[in-house]
Structure 1
Amino acid sequence: MTMTEPSPAGTATWMSEIAARHLWMHFTHMGKHPAQPVPVITRGNGVNIYDENGRRILDGISGLFVVQAGHGRRELARVASSQAETLAFFPVWGFATPPAAELAERLATLAPADLNRVFFTTGGGEAVESAWKAAKQYFTLIGKPAKHKVISRATAYHGAPQGALAITGIPKMKQDFEPLTPGAFRAPNTNAYRNPQFDGDPEAFGRWAADRIEEAILFEGPEAVAAVFVEPVQNSGGCFTPPPGYFARVREICDRHDVLLVSDEVICSFGRHGTTFACEKFGYLPDIITCAKGMTSGYSPIGAMIASERVMEPFLRPSVSFLHGSTFGGHPVSAAVALANLDLMQRERLNERVLQHEQAFGDTMRKLLDLPIVGDVRGDGYFWAVELVKDKATRETFDADERERLVRGFLPTALLDNGLYCRADDRGDVVVQVAPPLICGQPEFDEIEQILRQTFIDAAEIV
């Protein structure tokens, strides 16, 4: 560890300098620092965050699709403190703790049908990793060991561990980490804006997109495919919602070929779409749910894989173990915070709040369609994306240099300077995503729209 003297500019600059020298930030172009100061966020309150200079910024993406109940909820902090004083840590490797057992029961009660078995992780990527491993072993245990492959969708992000990254459908994110876990293959996603041949017939688009999953299963061989991984609303690429009938058809396809359906709800669960689990809102029953993020509103890290009794059955046979786990999975402090967060969400009726306000949020966001640079506005619940285009009439997107200027140059700084923290992304086409805390209402929707509007008007001048 090195020690350096504080900068004469004061504590704020000093903290940014420390970060530039020592903090290896995630998914970040590190080479631009310290020439470009690292933004330092020091506190949060309600729907707002504050930087080192005391500037108020509307948290338009809930930290990272996480802070459902808003920042600064002292009741959650007090629960964490109390649990840490009672039992700060013990693993669930052959043991239980009261918070872990109670949270498993609560999640089993909240999950649909017989998804009763809860395997805890520390985050979403680990939950996805666990689901793939569980699917592989499940089929081995029932006498079908060749079924090990998975199908996911183009541009979908499912996590950073090697297995979850293999399931991820973003080639650029994977190229530096090859070879990845083998056995993951892709089908098209449900980006209706980029499939204009189905304009006006969403049901036909849903059938087409679902049938591409069956096509992938048949191409790889049903005897070799273990699972299909889908998000209820796909995050990467910009909030792709399911067309009518899509998930019902995917469920039928999985049943026909004895393939497990995994609903990756790391973002979409815990109220983001107005239900505890979004598969319920979109009308399908998975075999496994993966979840994380909003379970604690970010006040402590935790994730989970929730499996059906069908999936669990062979693991209950004599002498069978699932040789997988992590030190901090089911951490007692995180589990206690999750229970308190779920109580809070129920008490404040946050799911109902999202359902009550989602139409107004969508209507407010769609006002941006009058801008020439805005090609599409799409989403559901409190999860929306604005796709930016070079030519609205032709839906032409930006070239590589223009993307660099927009997504990594102009937009992040301009949005933050204008008072909004949200996400500019081009893992598919160029989008800006918003997913505010579930306590937001019309005043926040209006503020988000106004800041986006001014920022997009300015962005149009540089491309």
Structure 2
Amino acid sequence: MTLTEHSPAATGRASAAWGHLWPHFTRMSAGTGPVITRGEGAYVWDDRGRRVLDGLSGLFVVQAGHGRRELAQVMAAQAEELAYFPVWGYATPPVVRLAERLADAAPGDLDRVFFTTGGGEAVESAWKVAKQYFKLTGRPLKHKVISRAVAYHGTPQGALAITGLPAMKQQFEPLTPGGFRVPNTNIYRAREHGDDPVAFGRWAADRIEEAILFEGPETVAAVVLEPVQNSGGCLTPPPGYFQRVREICDTYDVLLVSDEVIGAFGRHGTTFACEKFGYAPDIVTCAKGMSSGYAPIGAMITTERIVEPFLRGKTIFPHGYTFGGHPVAAAVALANLDIFDNERLNQRVLDNEAAFGATMRKLLDLPIVGDVRGDGYFWAVELVKDKTTKQTLDADERERLIRGFLPQALFDNGLYCRPDDRGDPVVQVAPPLICGQPEFDEIERILRHTLTEATTLL
């Protein structure tokens, strides 16, 4: 049957969802949440018939928007022709074409593609390939990875060791050894050079060199960084930061991994975000927007220098995934990239990012908003108790606002986005790349209304 607004069947389905489903990253004692039944363009509908602007692209994923019939048709055609075959020593036509397309689009000499089913697997693969690469090239002690404080890089045991969020790790320790942290690039909270972005960027990058020297360059395999750090709230790189990081990695023979699970495929207006920020990584990890979420797929892309020792003799990379390089996922990713080209989605982001940023910065007049920051179609609003002193919210206030009020209030007011306090408390927005000024205005209006309500709770 078709569910209609407030129907008993719809209400029953929402309640039943929590009877057998174990949702991800969810406080299950809080009870039932909305059941999302369909999507079209930049909007989704729940089982009560409410239309909600998808201000987070699902989870930084649905770049081309919901309900693209042409993508569904490509998936059906591929499934009918060949639904599945592994890439364990074999290939399928869509996987070959997608690998070639990604290699052509990637900057520099990034041209070898290892497929996964998601971002965490791509990061896991990058660490494993870095370890084996240095063993194969006669530097077996190089195994450690440096990442940034508050950064999120995935939940597998290896990727979780790279993640810089203690609360996400403590239930699963001991983790894979070898992960070390350096400061991130939150200039709003900077204690050093907060009034000088160039000096701050140099200071933050130099902490990476300091960590390499402290651990010993002969033991450090990789530095893993997002172009714009997600967790903590859209922490953009200061001028010169990545250029200095590249210099440090070259000096100490450390691989630079650009974790673009969120950043790739148009989120910042380029296919790969490292292009926009002017640096050349040794490895790129990507996922999410590759298929606009129509099928799960991710990838690790390396340079020929990295893959060369794996091509010798009897050497293999003893690592892989059953569904990595799934032919249906690869086919829909190719069709999704066709949409990027045909509708010029990357250029759309570049053309509109200034207007989106200006619209978001209107929220700075609210007493609860301390900072608005971001790039492309990826923005965060940092919440504070006192704008003058930048005093952040205490634990009780975070509980009331970030978990108790904002998620439901924003959704009820017509906006799905992300209240988050893994670092300082923020609300993040990352709408589909098909959005323009009308959607920007709607996002700002709903945020303004909801955050004004939130101020009274402080």
Deviations 1:157-196 (A, max 9, x none): 0001000000000000000000100000000000000015
Q: CA deviation at 1:198?
A: 2.1
In structure 2, relative to structure 1, the CA distance for the partners of 1:69 and 1:218 (3 Å cut) is same
Q: CA deviation at 1:277?
A: 0.1
1:390 aligns with 2:385: yes
Q: CA deviation at 1:31?
A: 1.1
Task: Please name the residue that 2:351 is paired with.
Answer: 356
Unpaired stretches in structure 1, ≥5 consecutive residues: 1-7
- SS in structure 2 opposite 1:360? helix
Task: Please name the residue that 1:31 is paired with.
Answer: 29
Task: Please name the residue that 1:68 is paired with.
Answer: 63
Match runs of 1:16-165 below 5 Å: 16-33=14-31, 37-165=32-160
- SS in structure 1 opposite 2:325? coil
Among residues 228, 243, 250, which one is paired with 1:248 in the alignment?
243
In structure 2, relative to structure 1, the CA distance for the partners of 1:358 and 1:158 (3 Å cut) is same
Match runs of 1:20-419 below 5 Å: 20-33=18-31, 37-195=32-190, 197-419=192-414
Among residues 431, 441, 450, which one is paired with 2:445 in the alignment?
450
- SS in structure 2 opposite 1:450? helix
- Determine if contact 2:367/2:387 at 8 Å carries over to the other structure: yes
- SS in structure 2 opposite 1:193? helix
Identity of aligned residues (%): 75
Q: CA deviation at 1:197?
A: 4.3
* Range that drifts further, 17-26 or 241-250: 17-26
Write the distance in 2 (CA, Å) between the matches of 1:349 and 1:75: 17
Counterpart amino acid of residue 418 in structure 1: N
Write the distance in 2 (CA, Å) between the matches of 1:342 and 1:219: 43
1:11 aligns with 2:9: yes
Write the distance in 1 (CA, Å) between the matches of 2:399 and 2:258: 33
Counterpart amino acid of residue 23 in structure 2: M
Write the distance in 2 (CA, Å) between the matches of 1:199 and 1:154: 17
Counterpart amino acid of residue 12 in structure 1: A
Write the distance in 2 (CA, Å) between the matches of 1:290 and 1:204: 29
Deviations 1:359-411 (A, max 9, x none): 00000000000011000000000000000001111001111111111111000
Write the distance in 1 (CA, Å) between the matches of 2:194 and 2:89: 54
Write the distance in 1 (CA, Å) between the matches of 2:10 and 2:397: 32
Q: CA deviation at 1:244?
A: 0.2
Task: Please name the residue that 1:5 is paired with.
Answer: none
Q: CA deviation at 1:199?
A: 3.3
Counterpart amino acid of residue 17 in structure 1: S
Spell out structure 1 runs of 4+ moving beyond 6 A.
none
How many residues of Structure 1 are paired with residues of Structure 2 in the alignment?
Answer: 453
- SS in structure 2 opposite 1:414? helix
Q: CA deviation at 1:9?
A: 6.2
> Normalising by structure 1, what TM-score?
0.97
Write the distance in 2 (CA, Å) between the matches of 1:339 and 1:453: 38
Deviations 1:32-65 (A, max 9, x none): 12xxx32110000000000101111000000000
Counterpart amino acid of residue 158 in structure 1: H
Q: RMSD in angstroms over aligned alpha carbons?
A: 0.8
Write the distance in 2 (CA, Å) between the matches of 1:197 and 1:130: 35
Counterpart amino acid of residue 19 in structure 1: A
Write the distance in 2 (CA, Å) between the matches of 1:222 and 1:202: 28
Task: Please name the residue that 1:4 is paired with.
Answer: none
> Normalising by structure 2, what TM-score?
0.98
Task: Please name the residue that 2:3 is paired with.
Answer: none
Counterpart amino acid of residue 303 in structure 2: S
- Determine if contact 2:236/2:375 at 8 Å carries over to the other structure: yes
Counterpart amino acid of residue 249 in structure 1: R
Deviations 1:290-337 (A, max 9, x none): 000000000000000000011011011110000000000000000000
Deviations 1:250-287 (A, max 9, x none): 00000000000000000000000000000000000000
Deviations 1:398-449 (A, max 9, x none): 1111111111100000000100000000000100000000000000000000
Write the distance in 2 (CA, Å) between the matches of 1:255 and 1:360: 37
Deviations 1:3-37 (A, max 9, x none): xxxxx96111111121111110000001112xxx3
